[in-house]
Amino acid sequence: MKNILIASTSTLANQNYLDYLLPELQLHFQNCNTILFIPYARPGGISHEEYTAMVSLAFAKINKKVIGIHEFEDANQALKNAEGIFTGGGSTFVLVSQLYKNNSIEILSEVVKNGTPYLGTSAGSNICGLTMQTTNDMPIVYPPSFKTLGLIPFNLNPHYLDPDTNSNHMGETRETRIKEFHAYNSVPVLGLREGSWLDVKGDKITLKGDLTARLFRQNQAPEELESGTDLSFLK
Amino acid sequence: MKNILIASTSTLANQNYLDYLLPELQLHFQNCNTILFIPYARPGGISHEEYTAMVSLAFAKINKKVIGIHEFEDANQALKNAEGIFTGGGSTFVLVSQLYKNNSIEILSEVVKNGTPYLGTSAGSNICGLTMQTTNDMPIVYPPSFKTLGLIPFNLNPHYLDPDTNSNHMGETRETRIKEFHAYNSVPVLGLREGSWLDVKGDKITLKGDLTARLFRQNQAPEELESGTDLSFLK
């Protein structure tokens, strides 16, 4: 049975890394001593080692050990053996490229579908959707495909931002970009604000956190969904 | 001799489409009666016809006729015959995908290098760089490559936005994303603020408009460049 947490962000303003999620994570990873960490998204271009050290510090607070997937000779065997998996944020393009390079996309999808507890934040959440086509990230490397894990039957836009009504900036708003996505694609997109997450238990997908989330569907007006909403109806 | 205007945006706040550029465009396209318009970027998903109609309205103010490239049976012949070319903004991913589909990337690059006056705004400016890897757009379609026209020897970030120091939002700033680009690429990136443009005459590239632009180079601190700066030194 799927057991997945998909968070918009790792970090809330003025808080430490993962702090707001730690009570959830204690439950989520209750049967794991060690978390396999996927540091491939390399936020700010930091190394796999630096990123893993930062994540270890956070998980130490709930007495979990963290091992970076880059420390294993066989990344796919590490995925198969993992007690729990966390994929951190950074560049979705870099993350997806590396997963394809390792031939890990299908294996990662499979082990999580078979029940290995998974946590994603930001880029690590983006990859839970059908494709990475609604990421906010810059295309700094060219992945062999935009197809991702398909752990949920729709796409995400993490760090969802409402239009700034005071701004004179003429660049596209997030909503405009998602509308453009729907000119070419019929996949629903959930705009997940910072502090929201999805709790996936089997086929049940529940919106968690204090905020509403914004749902975009092709040829329909966007909708605000309350925390606690069961999203299993989305296809 | 190259004769190119590369603008950050088509439209300034509270102004009509292209208004702030019209005096420049009158000079730039002085020897053209008709402008060939490339509407492929489809802002907000509008049709080629709608987009071309909007552009025609703006160019009518300086007595230029506009024909959309989609009206020609042979797009590449249209490029070769054009008196002047304008590529409008929208999705860089959609634009680049369509140019590849038409096998137009090399032909467009060639005719502009040989002197056909060119105007780009936003996505139409992005493609003037070496690659589209520093676009702000969502990857809503998958192009066969990120390589673009290479009319200038660096990359652009149009609609460049300074970090909002009052914001609690934890998504990456533009500067962070460009720094991440430089973890994997050595190509310089010019952050072009709305209201700025580059004037390319042969090998001379001059920053125009009232604002400074922000130059990012690998392993160097970002620099602010004054309007009027000759950018020919960039490689």
Is position A102 within any domain? Answer: yes
- CA–CA gap between residue B5 and residue B28 (Å, rounded): 8
Nearest CA in chain A to B178: A138
Is there a domain that residue B150 lies in? yes
| Whether the Cβ atoms of residue B131 and residue B147 lie closer than 8 Å to each other | yes
- Structure confidence at residue B69 (pLDDT): 98
Angle ∠(B62,B70,B88) on CA atoms, nearest 5: 50
Q: What is the mean pLDDT of chain A?
A: 97
For this structure, is A137 an active site residue?
yes
pLDDT score recorded for residue B18: 97
**What total number of domains does chain A contain?**
1
Residue A171 has pLDDT above 90, yes or no: no
Cα–Cα distance, B72 to B115 (Å, whole number): 22
What's the rounded mean pLDDT across residues A117-127? 98
For residue A234, being part of any structural domain is answered with no
Provide the shortest C-alpha distance from residue B31 to chain A (in Å). 31
Residue A201, pLDDT > 90, answer yes
Residue B122 a catalytic site member: yes
In which band, very low, low, confident or very high, does the pLDDT at A42 lie, cut at 50, 70 and 90? very high
Tokens of B188: 């310089």
Torsion of CA B64, B65, B68, B69, to 10 degrees: -80
Assigned domain for B230 exists: no
Q: What is the DSSP string of B116-135?
A: --EEEETHHHHTTSSBSTT-
DSSP secondary structure of A35-48: EEEE-TT-GGG--H
Residue A164 pLDDT class (50, 70, 90 cuts): confident
Residue B234 lies in a domain: no
Q: Does some domain include residue A233? A: no
Average pLDDT over residues A4-15: 96
Would you write out chain B's pLDDT as a tens digit for each of its 235 residues?
999 999 999 999 999 999 999 999 999 999 999 999 999 999 999 999 999 999 999 999 999 999 999 999 999 999 999 999 999 999 999 999 999 999 999 999 999 999 999 999 999 999 999 999 999 999 999 999 999 999 999 999 999 998 888 888 888 899 999 999 999 999 999 999 999 999 999 999 999 999 999 999 999 999 999 999 999 999 8
Sheet holding B189-191, edge to edge: B155-157, B189-191, B213-216, B223-225
Residue B210 confidence (pLDDT): 95
- Cβ of A140 within 8 Å of Cβ of B177? The answer is yes
Q: What is the mean pLDDT of residues A74-88?
A: 98
Residue B235 is assigned to a structural domain of this protein: no
Q: Domain range spanning residue A30? A: 3-225
In a domain, B231, yes or no: no
- Among A9, A141, A177, the residue with its CB nearest the CB of B137 is A177
Determine the residue of chain B that is closest to A175 in CA distance: B44
CATH number at residue A40: 3.40.50.880
Mean pLDDT value of segment A22-28: 98
